[in-house]
A and B are shown apart, each in its own frame.
Chain A
C-alpha cells in the first residue's frame, strides 16, 4: 500500500488548487471568452497530478521519459494553463493572454504553441486515443513513463472514446490512467437528459478497465486512486471522479450556463473574493 500524503502536503496542494481556481476565473474574465465550469471541476485532479504525482520538469518540458498528460476535454484549457503556470512552466502573467491573437495560450491546448502541452486537443473524443498511443510508445521504449488523461462525462458520448477504450484494454496498457470528470453536465443540460452516458463505471468495467470511484475534490482520495492505478497490472485504470461543475465559485456550481461563458468584471471580483475567503478558512 502506497503511502498517504501528509496532512501538511494535502493543505499545500489545496492551496495550489485554490490558486489555480483563482487564475481560471481571472484569465477567462480577461479573455471575455472560454470555459470556466469544466475548468474549475477538474482543478483538484490536475493539481494532484502535477504537484504530487507526475514526473515532469518545468525547466525541461520536453524531457525524455517524462510522464504525459492529455486534456481530452480540451475546452478546459484554462485549468491546464493555470496548473502549468502554477508549477512554473511559464510566468503567471502570461495567463492573461489567453485566447488573444498571437498568444501561446490558444483557446484549446496546442502542443506546437506551448511547451508543457503533451497533446493538442479541443475536438472531443480524440484525447483517449492519443493517450493510448503515448502509453504504447512508452511501452515500446521500455520507459517507466506513465500517461494521464481527463475526459468529460459528456465527452463519453463520442463513439471514438469507446474505440479507444477497447484498444487500451486489448493491448493491456497498464501505464495509462484516465479520469472522467463526472460533473453531470454538458452544454445543453444534464448529461442524463441530453443523451445519457450512464451508468459510467459499469461501462468501463465491461470494457475491461480497472475502475475506481472517487470524490474528485478530495485530493487525498485522488492521490490514493492514482497510487492504486500504478499497482494494477494488465489493465488501464479509469478513475471516475465525482465533481461539481464550477466548483469553488458558488454562483457557478452546477449551472450548465457557466460551461462556456465569461464572467463580467464585477462578477469576477465577487468570485475572486469568495475564493480568497475559502482559502482563508
Chain B
C-alpha cells in the first residue's frame, strides 16, 4: 500500500514552501488531518489557522492572492467545495485569483464519519465554475506532480484528495500533463475512464476482463477540467463503448463530463460507475466501496453490459 494522497500533499507542500517564498498555507482547524501541519512546522511564519471558519478561509485566500501571494488553502472537501462554494465562486474564480484549494477527505472513503462528511458532489460543484481547474490525483506520485503544477500555474485550482491510503500507481519519473488523459492499458472492446482512487480499481477490472476475453483500454483522467476531449473521442472511435468510474455522485462529475463530450462529438454506449444519487453512511472504506458498487467487479460488470449495448 502506498500513501494516502493527503499525505503526499503534506510532503510536497513543504518541499514547495522551500522553493517558492510566496507560498502561504491556510487551514481551518484540520491541519493534522489535511497534513498542512507538515508545512506549518517547517514554515510557521507562513502558516495561518483561520479556525473553524471555511468561508473566511476562502475569502482570506482570495485576498492573499490579490496581494501577490500563492495561497494553498485546505480543509475537508465537504467544507471547502460545500460550505464555501459561493466564496470560491465569487471571490476566487470570478476575479481568477491564484488560490489553490487542496481539499482532503473527499468521497465515501472518509469512512466512519458518515454522510455529513462524505463529499460526493464537490467535483460537480467545482467544475461548474468558470476559470476553475479541477484535478483528482490517483496516487501519491500523481498528487506530488499535480500540486507542483498548481504552484506554477496562474489561476484557481481545486485538488481533490483522499483520507485512505491507496496503492502506488506511478513511479518517480511520472510526468503530469495538465489536461491530458493518461492511458494505462490499451484495448479495443471498451474503454474504462477513471479518476482518483477508482483508477486502481479500473486497472484491476481490466485484468478481470482480460481473463474473460475482453480487451479494455484504461484511461486515467486526473484533470476533470479542462477535460481531455481528444482522448475521449478517440476512445469512442477505437473501442465503441465507455465506462466511467469515480468515487463521486454520478451526477455532475467525471461521468457527466465524459457524457458531455460524447454526445457533442461521437455518441457511443456508456455506463457510469459512481454513487447513484444517494447519501453515503458510516462504515469502513472497503465495506462502503462494496455496498455502493465502486469495486473492480462492479466496473467489469458495467463493461460487459456496455459492450452488449453496442450496435
Among B79, B112, B116, which residue has its beta carbon within 8 angstroms of that of A31? Answer: B112
Chain B residues 49 to 88 lying within 8 A of chain A, measured CB to CB, are 49-53, 55-56, 78-79, 82-83
- Judge whether A144 is part of the interface by a CB distance below 8 angstroms: no
User: A243–B293 Cα gap in the complex (Å)?
Assistant: 44
Contacts of A188 in B (CB 8 A): 27, 29-32, 37, 49
Q: Which 7 A-B pairs have the closest CB atoms?
A: A195-B51, A122-B116, A101-B283, A157-B51, A107-B114, A33-B112, A99-B112
User: A211–B238 Cα gap in the complex (Å)?
Assistant: 70
Chain A residues 70 to 128 lying within 8 A of chain B, measured CB to CB, are 74, 99-103, 105-108, 110, 120-125
Chain A residues 200 to 241 lying within 8 A of chain B, measured CB to CB, are none
Chain B residues 77 to 121 lying within 8 A of chain A, measured CB to CB, are 78-79, 82-83, 111-117
- Judge whether A34 is part of the interface by a CB distance below 8 angstroms: yes
User: A34–B55 Cα gap in the complex (Å)?
Assistant: 25
Q: How many residues of B contact A (CB 8 A)?
A: 32
Question: Cβ of A125 and Cβ of B52 under 8 Å apart?
Answer: yes
User: A103–B112 Cα gap in the complex (Å)?
Assistant: 11
Question: Cβ of B113 and Cβ of A108 under 8 Å apart?
Answer: yes
- Judge whether B157 is part of the interface by a CB distance below 8 angstroms: no
Question: Cβ of B114 and Cβ of A106 under 8 Å apart?
Answer: yes
User: A123–B78 Cα gap in the complex (Å)?
Assistant: 9
CB distance from A23 to the nearest CB of B (A): 18
Contacts of B113 in A (CB 8 A): 107-108, 122
* A-to-B contact residues, CB < 8 Å: 31, 33-34, 74, 99-103, 105-108, 110, 120-125, 154-155, 157-159, 186-188, 191, 194-195, 197
Other 19 A-B pairs with CB < 8 A, given A99-B112, A107-B117, A188-B37: A34-B112, A74-B116, A100-B283, A101-B281, A101-B291, A107-B114, A122-B113, A123-B83, A157-B50, A157-B51, A159-B55, A159-B56, A186-B51, A186-B52, A187-B29, A188-B27, A191-B51, A194-B49, A195-B49
User: A146–B59 Cα gap in the complex (Å)?
Assistant: 37
Question: Cβ of B117 and Cβ of A108 under 8 Å apart?
Answer: yes
User: A241–B84 Cα gap in the complex (Å)?
Assistant: 30
CB distance from B82 to the nearest CB of A (A): 8
Q: Give B114's nearest chain A residue, CB to CB.
A: A107
- A158 and B53 in contact (CB under 8 A), knowing A107-B114, A187-B32? yes
Supply 8 A–B pairs (Cβ within 8 Å), ascending by A.
Answer: A34-B112, A101-B282, A102-B283, A107-B282, A157-B53, A158-B53, A188-B32, A195-B53
Contacts of B53 in A (CB 8 A): 157-159, 195
Q: Mark B272-289, 1 if CB is under 8 A from A, else 0.
A: 000000000111100110
Q: Give B78's nearest chain A residue, CB to CB.
A: A123
CB distance from B276 to the nearest CB of A (A): 17
Contacts of A99 in B (CB 8 A): 112, 114, 282-283
CB distance from A75 to the nearest CB of B (A): 8
CB distance from B160 to the nearest CB of A (A): 18
User: A74–B114 Cα gap in the complex (Å)?
Assistant: 12
CB distance from A110 to the nearest CB of B (A): 7
Q: Give A257's nearest chain B residue, CB to CB.
A: B32
User: A31–B112 Cα gap in the complex (Å)?
Assistant: 9
User: A100–B283 Cα gap in the complex (Å)?
Assistant: 5
Question: Cβ of A155 and Cβ of B282 under 8 Å apart?
Answer: no
- A106 and B281 in contact (CB under 8 A), knowing A34-B112, A188-B32? yes
User: A120–B52 Cα gap in the complex (Å)?
Assistant: 19
CB distance from B77 to the nearest CB of A (A): 12
User: A45–B184 Cα gap in the complex (Å)?
Assistant: 56
Contacts of A125 in B (CB 8 A): 52
Q: Give A260's nearest chain B residue, CB to CB.
A: B33
User: A125–B27 Cα gap in the complex (Å)?
Assistant: 17
User: A31–B283 Cα gap in the complex (Å)?
Assistant: 9
CB distance from B278 to the nearest CB of A (A): 12
Question: Cβ of A121 and Cβ of B52 under 8 Å apart?
Answer: no
Question: Cβ of A110 and Cβ of B114 under 8 Å apart?
Answer: yes
Q: Mark B18-29, 1 if CB is under 8 A from A, else 0.
A: 000000000101
Q: Give A108's nearest chain B residue, CB to CB.
A: B116
CB distance from A21 to the nearest CB of B (A): 21
Q: Give B33's nearest chain A residue, CB to CB.
A: A187
Contacts of A187 in B (CB 8 A): 29-30, 32-33
User: A187–B31 Cα gap in the complex (Å)?
Assistant: 9
Contacts of B79 in A (CB 8 A): 123
Residue of A34, A158, A159 most packed against chain B (CB within 10 A): A158
Q: Give A256's nearest chain B residue, CB to CB.
A: B32
Contacts of A155 in B (CB 8 A): 52
CB distance from A247 to the nearest CB of B (A): 21
